[in-house]
Structure 1
């Protein structure tokens, strides 16, 4: 694009301003030039074009009507070409342009319109050449910044060297990766994350007091993983600014992909560490070295925290491990954070009093709630392991505490394994295969009978134990007669070999149901 002021600076065109139009009109961008003698060129003139005319329409319409038609097309102005028959611009045209607030230029009879077209074409070529040179230069600078490890902040610095825009880089989890001339609060970061989550992603987001911001998606490994944010609406950005932002977003994808690759490697190593801890044996000897790689001292007291979401919600969710890792980084606590199928586990050194560990876990849960509104995170803790060799039972304990919390919709969000019932303390010390075999042997016959006969023996047993063996209360909750309850319990004894009237047999049945609920 060019401006009328730029045309006026070309002395060879012999242009003169007759009507400057409203303030700033001569400096406004002009799309192109359009030569026409039609009485009504509004159907053919594009918005922002400069209409060039010799006034041959004057015998068909008035100057006022012609100007009105040009205004309808939202043209940038009119250039009147003098000729022998009209050595002066008609005063009616001058008056009409002044009345309409439309710029009017006059060109000498000695200069043809083709000369204007050539000048405009040259200016457009120079503009495109300059834009291309600028893009290549900026691309080199962006590539250099990334290769030197400048990160997202370095990339923004390169862009701001060309365009003084308020910028930020935000990922799909609502985390601020870099800022330059802009500051975003928690609500604004969340608004950006919501915009990225849409399909297709939003092109603008409302940031409240900061107004609307343009969003330029940054893709990494096959998806939109972040966005380059400019705290200005799209309509206020010039074409060269939008092109620069789009180019920078493409380069940012390289930086985001690099960060994701590093995180994926760290997560895989962390998951392998959990496998080493759980497998025991020879692999357990590798645990201390792996802990040191994450900055965790294997020789000191170690704590294990298992985090998930409450029952009925996603056990884990994409990005939860990253949020937990960020939390411990802000707290200045080195930690190994690994995702499992049902939870996310963090292993961290802990030399403070053990009573302070739940306080840290509660702050962690609060931070997760803010990042994932609407979900209820819970955290299970173990006792402290004196060193790495004692991590396996602590890992099992924290996961068991977390598993219990996941099945509750209310109550504390953080609990230690020692706060669970004594029977759970004992169950947590046994291997899962033994526990599952015990539960299956006792409950299997009941389930087979219920499936075959359409019965409710397992439901009856659960209700009986939940009501502490009280016949009347159990019959009431099941809506059956006491005799019916007695018959069902007799059948349970026959199938399981356990008499619900004896304490030791009742304990076996209670443990079998508890183990079943632990899956």
Structure 2
């Protein structure tokens, strides 16, 4: 922000005239400072219009002008008619050589009038900037409500006159009003983890601001222009970043509230399944044509939540010290879930059969086979369950361990083919009499009657347990 020297020269009431340094006449003035010291430089910060009558010029005026130039002043105003009838030629020549604007101030014009004009113009500019912000912010907010990130980026670009891009958490552009090169500059700064300040590269100023709430980062907002952002543009950049954060945070928070409500209802149903008729409408989002499934796992919930969020499904979960229970749609398959450790998935059930589904999920998880689906355990449930498996291992140790491999193969084949002599003999490639002799031998060794269906059932499970243990 600053007052254009040309604007000041155009004030007819001041009667100012540019006599040298026209090359720098476009410089903005940040202040007008009246000072008549031989060396005013220690009291200057740069950007000022220095006003002097030349009453205390040093012996070499050239050094005076060079000092002002080094101090970064925007222009020199020289009042004539008091100490000097006209501006010394050395000052004129040096100012022209250095490109430092030199302004002649006639005797009737007080320095205070010049200072007042500069300050009033700066105040007007600040008011105009406040108006610009007050007009741009509502437009940006309305765009955020209607169009989300795309609208915010468009309005920020229009308000700042700069290229604008919003990068998501994957550092890919989600909304942009910028060229490919502008986007590349923003991406480069984000990857270098340079945010919060303008970086000037090849004549272009790039500003990047992180978009997020607390520790949650939702992306990065970048602005690329031919100059660094002013205070107003920085305010607008911050406003846009806040709107983007709210735009991304709102669904996350709404989902969190939805999940918490669902978890409470799920907990009520687990504690009292008889409430199912009253609670059924509250589970409409999760119950599909196949009913529901129960998942039990020791894995943390975020990965499961992400899988459900992709399908716009709530996370209905209950966590205990030993397990996490999740209610899923009946059509949700094992392939739809992330990789889980020690997890069990029930078969589909009506919501009214939640206890049965829970029991199946726990049986499947007991198989200790990563993510196990209850339907895949058909014929192997007892082998997969630690408690029943321990019983079968004991039985196998007392029976199958007494048999040699040939007798074990003969017994298993006979039992799996439902006691059919011809089929079993053909399967292992022996005569039926040979098989009968082997089975008689097994009966003697085990002290078991193979004619009993119950004995055969128990021995088949014992054989399977024994063979799986030998692998």
Q: TM-score range by the shorter chain?
A: 0.5 to 0.7
What is the TM-score when the length of structure 2 is the normalising length?
A: 0.62
Out of 307, 325, 340, the residue aligned to residue 324 of structure 1 is 307
Q: How many residue pairs were aligned?
A: 385
What is the TM-score when the length of structure 1 is the normalising length?
A: 0.57
How far residue 121 of structure 1 moved from its aligned partner, in angstroms, is 1.5
How far residue 126 of structure 1 moved from its aligned partner, in angstroms, is 0.9
Closer, same or farther: CA 335–247 of 1 in aligned 2, 3 Å: closer
Instruction: List per-residue Cα deviations over 1:298-318 (Å, max 9, x = no partner).
Output: 222666677886xxxxx456x
Equivalent residues in 2 for 1:360-399, closer than 5 Å: 360-361=336-337, 382=345, 384-385=347-348, 387-389=350-352, 392-393=357-358, 396=361
What CA distance in whole angstroms lies between the structure 1 residues aligned with 2:27 and 2:324? 59
SS at match of 1:57: coil
How far residue 45 of structure 1 moved from its aligned partner, in angstroms, is 0.7
Closer, same or farther: CA 261–39 of 1 in aligned 2, 3 Å: same
Closer, same or farther: CA 43–187 of 1 in aligned 2, 3 Å: closer
Matched with 1:31 is 30
How far residue 233 of structure 1 moved from its aligned partner, in angstroms, is 8.5
* 1:162 pairs with 2:159: yes
SS at match of 1:268: helix
What CA distance in whole angstroms lies between the structure 2 residues aligned with 1:424 and 1:194? 55
Instruction: List per-residue Cα deviations over 1:280-321 (Å, max 9, x = no partner).
Output: 6124446653442x3x55222666677886xxxxx456xx56
What CA distance in whole angstroms lies between the structure 2 residues aligned with 1:49 and 1:402? 81
What CA distance in whole angstroms lies between the structure 2 residues aligned with 1:54 and 1:344? 86
Matched with 1:43 is 42
CA contact (8 A) 1:334 1:348 kept: no
Question: Unpaired segments of 5 or more residues in structure 1?
Answer: 196-200, 310-314, 366-376, 406-414, 440-502, 508-519
Closer, same or farther: CA 73–404 of 1 in aligned 2, 3 Å: farther
What CA distance in whole angstroms lies between the structure 1 residues aligned with 2:305 and 2:21? 59
Matched with 1:108 is 106
CA contact (8 A) 1:49 1:76 kept: yes
Matched with 2:10 is 9
Q: Looking at CA atoms only, which structure, 1 or 2, has the larger radius of gyration?
A: 2
SS at match of 2:290: coil
Matched with 1:203 is 196
What CA distance in whole angstroms lies between the structure 1 residues aligned with 2:205 and 2:129? 29
Out of 203, 211, 215, the residue aligned to residue 209 of structure 2 is 215
Closer, same or farther: CA 298–115 of 1 in aligned 2, 3 Å: same
Instruction: List per-residue Cα deviations over 1:192-221 (Å, max 9, x = no partner).
Output: 6996xxxxx952599x999954215554xx
How far residue 418 of structure 1 moved from its aligned partner, in angstroms, is 5.9
Equivalent residues in 2 for 1:289-368, closer than 5 Å: 289-292=281-284, 294=285, 296-300=286-290, 315=300, 320=303, 323-326=306-309, 328=310, 333-338=311-316, 341=319, 345=326, 347-348=328-329, 350=331, 358=335, 360-361=336-337
Instruction: List per-residue Cα deviations over 1:76-129 (Å, max 9, x = no partner).
Output: 222222225534332212222233332333333332221111111111121122
What CA distance in whole angstroms lies between the structure 1 residues aligned with 2:7 and 2:106? 17
Give the superposed CA RMSD: 5.2
| Bigger shift: residues 88-97 or 393-402 | 393-402
What CA distance in whole angstroms lies between the structure 2 residues aligned with 1:325 and 1:41? 70
Question: Unpaired segments of 5 or more residues in structure 2?
Answer: 391-460, 466-471
CA contact (8 A) 1:276 1:286 kept: no
